[in-house]
Amino acid sequence: MRSLETYEKKRDFDVTPEPRAELIGAGGDRLCFVVQKHDASRLHFDFRLEWNGVLLSWAVTKGPSANPSEKRLSVRTEDHPVSYGGFEGTIPKDEYGGGTVMLWDDGWWEPLHDPEEGLKAGKLHFRLHGARMKGGWALIRMRGKSGEERENWLLIKERDEFAGRSDDALVNKHKTSVTTGRGMRAIAQDHAPARPAEHAKPLPRFRAVQLATLKDAPPEGDAWQHEPKFDGYRCLMAIGKGGVRLYSRNGKDWSDRFGVLCAPAAALDCAAALIDGEVIAGRGGGDFSTLQKALKAGDPLTFYAFDCLALDGDNLTDEPLSDRRKALEALFGGLPPRGPLRLSPVIEGDGAAALDAMCEAGGEGIVSKRIDAPYRGGRGTSWIKSKCVRRAEFVVAGWSPSDKKGRPFSSLILGSYEGGDLVYRGRVGSGFDEDDFDALHAALKRLARKTTPFDGDLPSETKGAHWVTPRLVVEADYTEFTSEGRIRHGVYRGLREDKEARDVSAKAEAETDTEGGEQWIGGVRVSSTGRTVYPDAGLSKGDVADYYATVADRMLEHSGDRPLSLLRCPAGIEDECFFQKHAGKGFPDDVKTMPIEEKDGETADYMYVSSAAGLIGAAQMGTLEFHIWGAARDRIERPDRMVFDLDPDEGLGFSDVVAAAQDVREGLSAVGLDCAPMVTGGKGIHVIVPLRRIAGWEPVKNFSRAFAQSLVDRHPDRYTATMSKSKRKGRVFIDWLRNERGATAIAPYSLRARPGAAIAVPVTWDELGKLDRPDGFHVGDIGDRLSRPCPLDRAEVSGVGSGVVEKLEDWSKS
């Protein structure tokens, strides 16, 4: 038996809810294992194996990885009692290990050799039988440094049928408790697990869903109500005796795929119900491609309910929509407005106004429904859909080979069934990520055939194609249909596993789409929205405009009403890009201009933006990056920010740049200035100092140069303050030149015109210490950050006055 003395000494059991130390004997022929997600001083995962009456424990810093190539640092900690395996809750802040603990996985393990010998040798090999961790794993002890007390191990996945290729898919996919279904926030707030309601009536059976007919304009009149058209998966939710079933539009049981919605559905207060709706990504938004990624990663989902087919044993399909809607509102009325189950909103007003409002808000379109009509399965005219975005489903008929290494195909060949014939609809060659390539290539190989599946003649662009049996259905955006009925500028959005190939027709889209590929985004008309801008990330010009519409309020706080330069890439990052600081012809009115006197005494018009429309208007002109002056336009000669751009030599790692940022912070603090860091989305970090507008450009520039040189004098082997390539070798360049009049720095929240579409993001100092790269933030990461205060706002505003200058002189001599 092992000892729990260390565990006991570290805890005050009158304060902490953790179980007391208790050794147990063998409890059966299966040894338990448990993984607990632990948000203490740093988020980590505690991995525990039952052995000799205790839980052997390791703190896995980044959580387990199913990728055998990814070795995860696991620090050996004190043995825990076996009863700890059932603990989930919050340890008080001032106690040892204070923070929230989630029961992330549990099951049983089988050692593949004697564990005692393995612990002595530093090699444990075992198989896990958990809900999330499965198959062969190993714990390997690292060779310790001299005098190091802690015991470092590596947790490694064995290569077997449970191994994966992604480093973090395992922890990203599962974000709720394996026993209670709660997330970390719900556990921290002590929310009780969702309790299922009593459902006394039988579980309703699946029935054919009603489908909308596409028209180029919505219907008019008081006989219609208008709802948003969602970009997700259609879902029929059945609730009754025996639980919850979630069906796809063609009757497949997708309860497992939409599993996060089962518990809240089971809590609905009814004897039984059959509810029609749509599942979308996140907590209130997200397109179809985002939904597919959310399903793979186990991210939150939202179910928008828009019809009630049966309630408490009564069939409602023969009732008018107005009555069915009242029943739905009664059932959903008490639910939280931002919860996972929501009512689809009804848009008031006439159809044209409703569509305009939806398009201006960046939506996909609307569905108009007759309020007096019954519910009827199949496509009919009592539901009419009108689109803002040109998007449709297509059948994959083949693929064109690629000459690029690592890319299994260059494009998919698409078609649709019209009158029983497969009609050629063009190709889609962008929008794929690595996972898309892998999944599609595997599926295409299984469907390979020698002859074309098309019924008519084909254009020359299909020469050399590899053909497949037409079973796969994909969704794609496009700018327009040509007169030949083929799409232009197709962008892949995802596989439609809920649709059958024979049901796919693009005739309505081809007839109703108009020329131009334009879309209203944030009240700005954006052309060529389907043009691919970031090929590797699958982002289009429309995606860029959407992004700047999303971050506009936050971005304008730091970049609005100040002169700026734009990096424009009209044809995407793989084509020509150029800087522009003076206004030119063709810019929208919301990209404004102001006269500024230049060094030669001449006056030139510089650009600035003061509204979301200005940012989106710049994106319409192909702008990807915004670079801003350090002064606002109302006092252009008085800078309100000072920037130190930390640029590492090629041989240095990101940890060296983080250390440099910490040194800059300490030095600025010593002279009385506060600051905040921003990862640039490139190679380095900007340390930003907010300033009172008491000094002009020359004093600020001189101060920044003197400060940078003082830091170099303290650490000449680590830093340089000159641009010379020879002097930068092995050092971090502390670039103070951003503080000259007319110089610019990348704007907070700006995209970068580089592969990957990284973003310049302000972070807290605590966050900075946990990051492992400066280009790790992307479009999909920003939504959550916008709900929190900007880290730049934490830094106190100071001035470069005589007192600060004197402190710098003293500090430079110390």
**Which residues are catalytically annotated?**
229
C-beta separation of 185 from 198 below 8 A: no
Return the H-helix or E-strand segment holding 792. none
Return the H-helix or E-strand segment holding 676. strand 676-679
C-beta separation of 729 from 681 below 8 A: no
Give the single-character DSSP code of 516: T
Provide the token pair at 28. 């059966």
Q: How far apart are CA 492 and CA 458, in angstroms?
A: 22
Nearest to 475 by CA among 433, 428, 538, 516: 428
Burial of 418 (0-12, 13-18, 19+ CB in 10 A): middle
Residue where the block lists tokens 């200035």: 673
Q: How far apart are CA 571 and CA 541, in angstroms?
A: 9
Q: How far apart are CA 811 and CA 814, in angstroms?
A: 5
* Residue 686, helix vs strand vs coil: strand
Q: How far apart are CA 214 and CA 344, in angstroms?
A: 20
Residue where the block lists tokens 């390979």: 448
CA distances from 673 to 654, 664, 665, 667, 694 (A): 25, 11, 9, 9, 14
* Residue 552, helix vs strand vs coil: helix
Nearest to 439 by CA among 301, 293, 303: 293
Q: How far apart are CA 522 and CA 525, in angstroms?
A: 8
Give the single-character DSSP code of 748: T
CA angle 806/807/812 to nearest 5° reads 100
Nearest to 771 by CA among 780, 779, 781: 781
Q: How far apart are CA 310 and CA 197, in angstroms?
A: 17
Backbone angles phi, psi at 85, to 5 degrees: -65, -15
Burial of 194 (0-12, 13-18, 19+ CB in 10 A): middle
Nearest to 572 by CA among 624, 610, 612: 624
C-beta separation of 447 from 397 below 8 A: no
Dihedral of alpha carbons 286, 291, 293, 295, sign = positive
Nearest to 75 by CA among 115, 24, 40, 111: 40
Q: How far apart are CA 36 and CA 86, in angstroms?
A: 10
Q: How far is CA 202 from the centre of its chain?
A: 39
* Residue 357, helix vs strand vs coil: helix
Nearest to 236 by CA among 279, 286, 296: 279
Provide the token pair at 187. 């556990």
Residues contacting residue 242 through CB under 8 Å, at least 6 positions apart: 199, 202, 203
Provide the token pair at 712. 């170099």
DSSP per residue over 27-68, as a string? -SS-EEEEEEEEESSSEEEEEEEEETTEEEEEEETT---S-T
State the amino acid at position 327 in one-letter form: A
Nearest to 534 by CA among 628, 462, 625, 404: 625
Provide the token pair at 519. 């879309």
Angle between helices 697-714 and 654-670 in degrees, nearest 10: 120
Q: In this structure, are strands 243-247 and 233-240 parallel, antiparallel, or unpaired?
A: antiparallel
